[in-house]
């Protein structure tokens, strides 16, 4: 329950945010016990029903009233909200009015399921709503209510396109209530950002928000509110350089993407700070690394993506580096830099981890498969990769600020979210963010058909099967969306399709500008689209009438992603809002890594059984699933260690007197 006590005057000096939670064992125990209760499926069921009844009652009265009357009522309600907090009777009335006005301005009235979703979010929880349930519209309910209660609201989305689209779509409704909505995407200038953050409601991409926060933190000479007031009195200028007004209320769209998947790596602001000596040091290290022999001087673990120097290796480095500059003197320093050189040469691979575009090395987000602009590796690794690719050497970058997603979003006074896939990670949501997950029933029953998955021995067989399947479907006038695991396999799939004479589009990291429009058109008959995971996520694929009749969009998954959730997200591209659609998996065992004992044995026995029978198919599928679970687990551990590191450093660095 969000009460008005959370709400504090939103200005640049006060900057309210939640203090880090106590980490005593008693606290942990109570959190766990509370989690058991909060994550119960039946939690809040009765209150939900009662709430829906209330909204329906209020709705009846609303229909007859004019817009002016409704807005007058809203103003009175806003005052009540500020006094009494987000009490159910008040919220129900507000929701009823929003529904009514939304119907009048946008032409879209909220369904009951959306009302429930909005209410769940107002309770500070994550609402799990199936894809295509109209999350954008749902979000308007809690956003407007929170804004009425006086809180600056941040609506956090996964990418710039969705941010912009949602903001524009909802703007008329907000305007109707007298709120201005700000929009912040990558291209927004600092001055525009400042203005946007002053708006009652801000639509912002997750990364931009965190970076703005970090930049603010860097500008702040102090973090305590009182000191900040003193600073503001001393020099009024610093205040005008700040962007955010504290962390009050955030609604996170695609919460699992933002809060879970992307939280594996912390966000870092860095600056060029290398000098000539260091550049030379890096070049020398790269050359020196060429002299080392695999197996003798270092060991290379392909599966774990690790390289370790042996004793012999450290000796070789010492001998080779004699007579080089002063930076070579320290053993840790020289071994570290050579290690980086080896990492760059052996572990990081072109087109998988990075691209080379216009003579520059650009990183690929392993999750989305997109280019991460302006990102670079740290501590000379980037330079090593540049040397390997023969690019021009950039300056070394030095970290200036750093925060993990977990640590950032935990600071919000009120945090809530919505997504299609959250139930699997509900425990993690609770443990990390204190967010409970509630499933919201769908408005219309789902009509997605799931075809039995097929596994092939080699990639070639899989692609051929894919081509055959596309040809079949195209004859039926259906549209096909093919999900691939990486840019390289997108290319491969495209190759096969071209040779078969199938017209298609490829969406991947290399051409991400017009992506959303293309995805939106994926519902046209005879359209075949190849995309890495998450391409055009959140975009509604409108089905052409012909396609709808033929059975809707068909989604083919060609590689299992790093979690079952992401697979489900891809499946969610079809059969939205009661449309027909189908989903199938065409997988291959070629290059399928098996890093667990169970996976290995399953893989071996499925190979020996052959894939032409049901048992072999079943085992192969299981092997791939085991592998996926292993990756999920690894990622989970990585996230935990990111957070743990942040917390530990926070304790350790108490003396530095500043955050991040």
Partner 1 sequence: MSASLFSPSWHRVADLKPRLRSHVIINRHVFRGAVWYVIQDDATGRYHRFTPQAYSLIGLMDGRRSLDDLWHSAGEQLGDEMPSQDEVIQLLSQLYRVDAIQTDIIPDIAELNKRQRKEKQNRLLAAVKSPLAVKIPLLDPEPFLARTAGLSRWLYNPLSGLIWLLCVGWALGQAAYHWPQLTENLADRVLAVENLFLIWLVYPLVKLVHEFGHAYAVKRWGGEVHEMGIMFLIFMPIPYVDASASAAFHSKYQRMLVSAAGILIEAFIAAVAMWVWVSVEPGVVRSVAFNTLLISGVSTLLFNGNPLLRFDAYYTLADFLEIPNLASRGTRQVAWLCKRYMLGFGDEATSPAYGKGEGRWLLIYALASFVYRVFITFTIVLFVASELFFVGILLALLALYNMFGKPLVAMLKFLMTDKTVRRQRARVAAGVAALLVAVWVLLFIIPLPKMTVTHGVVWAPDEARIITASNGFLQQLVVAPGSMVSAGETLLVSQNETLDTQVAKFSGRLKELLVLYQRAVADERQNEAGILAEEIAQARAELARSLEEQRELVVRSPAAGRYQLTLPVDPEARYIPRGTLLGYVLQPGEYQVRAALGQNDIEAVRSDVRAVTVRVAEDFDRVVPARLIREVPSAQRELPSAALAVEGGGLFALDPANQQAATAFEPVFLVDLQLTGSAAYRVGERAYVRFEHSPEPVGYRIYRSLRRILLRELEF
Q: Please give the residue ranges that form the binding site for partner 1 (CB under 8 A).
A: 222-224, 227, 266, 268, 308-309, 326, 329-333, 335-336, 339, 378-379, 398-402, 637, 641, 645, 649, 652-658, 660
CA separation for the pair 252, 131 (Å, rounded) = 15
CA separation for the pair 519, 482 (Å, rounded) = 11
CA separation for the pair 297, 332 (Å, rounded) = 16
Q: Give the dihedral of Cα atoms 159, 164, 169, 170; nearest 10 deg.
A: 90
Whose Cβ is closer to partner 1: residue 191's or residue 654's? 654
Whose Cβ is closer to partner 1: residue 63's or residue 651's? 651
Rounded to a whole number of angstroms, the minimum distance from the CB of residue 74 to partner 1 is 39
Residues 571, 450 contacting (CB under 8 angstroms): yes
CA separation for the pair 314, 288 (Å, rounded) = 12
Whose Cβ is closer to partner 1: residue 287's or residue 301's? 301
CA separation for the pair 146, 251 (Å, rounded) = 10
Rounded to a whole number of angstroms, the minimum distance from the CB of residue 425 to partner 1 is 20
Whose Cβ is closer to partner 1: residue 311's or residue 373's? 311
> Starting at the edge strand that comes first in sequence, how are the strands of the sheet with 414-419 ordered?
181-184, 201-205, 153-157, 249-253, 414-419, 125-128, 436-439
457: which 2 tokens? Answer: 């021995």
Rounded to a whole number of angstroms, the minimum distance from the CB of residue 16 to partner 1 is 15
Rounded to a whole number of angstroms, the minimum distance from the CB of residue 506 to partner 1 is 36
Whose Cβ is closer to partner 1: residue 379's or residue 449's? 379
Whose Cβ is closer to partner 1: residue 42's or residue 655's? 655
Burial (Cβ within 10 Å: 0-12, 13-18, ≥19) of residue 125: buried
Residues 580, 552 contacting (CB under 8 angstroms): yes
632: which 2 tokens? Answer: 């999920």
Whose Cβ is closer to partner 1: residue 29's or residue 637's? 637
Helix axes 67-84, 135-148, angle to 10 degrees: 60
- Greatest extent of the chain over all pairs of C-alpha atoms, in Å: 89
Rounded to a whole number of angstroms, the minimum distance from the CB of residue 110 to partner 1 is 44
The helix or strand, by DSSP H or E, that contains position 143, with its residue range, turns out to be: helix 135-148
Whose Cβ is closer to partner 1: residue 249's or residue 408's? 408
Rounded to a whole number of angstroms, the minimum distance from the CB of residue 660 to partner 1 is 7
CA separation for the pair 245, 412 (Å, rounded) = 12
Compute how many other C-beta atoms are within 10 angstroms of the C-beta atom of residue 578: 13
Q: b/e string for 417-447 if b means 16 or more Cβ within 10 A?
A: bbbbbbbbbbebbbbbbbbbbbbbebbeebb
CA separation for the pair 216, 660 (Å, rounded) = 11
Whose Cβ is closer to partner 1: residue 76's or residue 308's? 308
451: which 2 tokens? Answer: 């075809």
Whose Cβ is closer to partner 1: residue 223's or residue 631's? 223
Rounded to a whole number of angstroms, the minimum distance from the CB of residue 600 to partner 1 is 13
In terms of residues, how long is the chain? Answer: 660
Rounded to a whole number of angstroms, the minimum distance from the CB of residue 378 to partner 1 is 8
Rounded to a whole number of angstroms, the minimum distance from the CB of residue 265 to partner 1 is 11
Compute how many other C-beta atoms are within 10 angstroms of the C-beta atom of residue 541: 25
Whose Cβ is closer to partner 1: residue 290's or residue 597's? 597
Rounded to a whole number of angstroms, the minimum distance from the CB of residue 595 to partner 1 is 12
Residues 386, 526 contacting (CB under 8 angstroms): no
Q: Where are the alpha helices (DSSP H) in 321-439?
A: 331-342, 381-389, 405-409, 426-428
Rounded to a whole number of angstroms, the minimum distance from the CB of residue 216 to partner 1 is 16
Task: Give Cα 63 to chain centroid, integer Å.
Answer: 39
Whose Cβ is closer to partner 1: residue 373's or residue 651's? 651
Rounded to a whole number of angstroms, the minimum distance from the CB of residue 322 to partner 1 is 13
């Amino acid at each position: 329950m969000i009460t008005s006590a959370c709400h504090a005057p939103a200005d640049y000096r006060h900057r309210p945010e939640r203090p880090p939670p106590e980490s005593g064992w008693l606290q942990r125990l109570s959190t766990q016990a509370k989690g058991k209760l909060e994550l119960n499926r039946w939690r809040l069921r009765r209150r939900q029903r009662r709430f829906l009844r209330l909204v329906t009652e209020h709705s009846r009265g609303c229909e007859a009233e004019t817009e002016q009357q409704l807005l007058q009522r809203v103003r009175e309600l806003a005052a009540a909200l500020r006094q009494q907090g987000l009490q159910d009777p008040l919220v129900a009335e507000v929701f009823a009015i929003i529904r009514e006005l939304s119907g009048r301005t946008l032409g879209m009235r909220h369904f009951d399921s959306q009302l429930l979703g909005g209410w769940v979010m107002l309770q500070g929880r994550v609402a799990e709503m199936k894809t295509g349930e109209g999350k954008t519209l749902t979000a308007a309910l809690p956003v407007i209510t929170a804004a009425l209660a006086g809180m600056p609201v941040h609506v956090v989305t996964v990418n710039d396109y969705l941010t912009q689209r949602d903001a524009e779509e909802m703007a008329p409704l907000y305007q109707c209530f007298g709120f201005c909505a700000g929009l912040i995407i990558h291209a927004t200038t600092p001055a525009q950002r400042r203005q946007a953050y002053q708006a009652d409601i801000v639509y912002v991409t997750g990364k931009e928000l965190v970076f703005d926060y970090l930049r603010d933190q860097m500008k702040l000479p102090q973090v305590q509110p009182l000191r900040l007031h003193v600073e503001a009195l001393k020099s009024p200028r610093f205040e005008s350089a700040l962007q955010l007004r504290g962390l009050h209320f955030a609604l996170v769209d695609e919460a699992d993407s933002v809060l879970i998947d992307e939280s594996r790596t912390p966000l870092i602001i860095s600056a060029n700070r290398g000098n000539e000596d260091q550049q030379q040091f890096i070049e020398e290290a790269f050359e020196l690394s060429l002299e080392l022999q695999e197996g003798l001087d270092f060991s290379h673990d392909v599966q774990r993506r690790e390289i370790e120097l042996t004793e012999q290796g450290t000796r070789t480095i010492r001998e080779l580096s004699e007579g080089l500059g002063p930076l070579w003197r320290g053993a840790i320093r020289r071994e570290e830099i050579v290690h980086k050189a080896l990492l760059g040469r052996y572990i990081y691979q072109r087109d998988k981890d990075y691209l080379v575009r216009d003579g520059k090395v650009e990183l690929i987000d392993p999750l989305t498969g997109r280019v991460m602009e302006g990102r670079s590796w740290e501590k000379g690794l980037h330079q090593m990769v540049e040397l390997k690719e023969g690019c021009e050497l950039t300056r070394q970058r030095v970290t200036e600020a750093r925060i993990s997603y977990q640590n950032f979003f935990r600071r919000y006074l009120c945090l809530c979210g919505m997504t299609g896939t959250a139930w699997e990670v509900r425990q993690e949501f609770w443990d990390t963010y204190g967010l409970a997950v509630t499933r919201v029933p769908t408005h219309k029953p789902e009509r997605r058909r799931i075809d039995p998955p097929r596994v092939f021995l080699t990639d070639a067989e899989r692609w051929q099967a894919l081509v055959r399947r596309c040809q079949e479907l195209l004859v039926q006038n259906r549209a096909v969306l093919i999900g691939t695991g990486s840019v390289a396999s997108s290319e491969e799939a495209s190759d096969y399709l071209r040779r078969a004479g199938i017209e298609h589009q490829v969406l991947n990291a290399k051409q991400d500008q017009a992506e959303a429009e293309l995805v939106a058109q994926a519902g046209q008959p005879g359209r075949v689209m190849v995309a890495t995971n998450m391409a055009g996520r959140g975009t509604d694929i409108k089905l052409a009438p012909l396609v709808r009749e033929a059975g809707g969009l068909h989604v083919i998954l060609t590689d299992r992603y790093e979690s079952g959730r992401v697979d489900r997200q891809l499946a969610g591209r079809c059969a939205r809002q009661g449309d027909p659609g189908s989903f199938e998996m065409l997988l291959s065992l070629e290059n399928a890594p098996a890093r667990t004992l169970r996976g290995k044995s399953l893989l071996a026995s499925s190979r020996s059984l052959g894939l032409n029978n049901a048992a072999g198919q079943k085992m192969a599928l299981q092997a791939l699933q085991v592998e996926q679970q292993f990756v999920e687990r690894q990622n989970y551990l990585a996230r935990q260690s990111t957070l743990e590191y942040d917390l530990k450093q926070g304790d350790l660095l108490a003396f530095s007197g500043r955050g991040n």
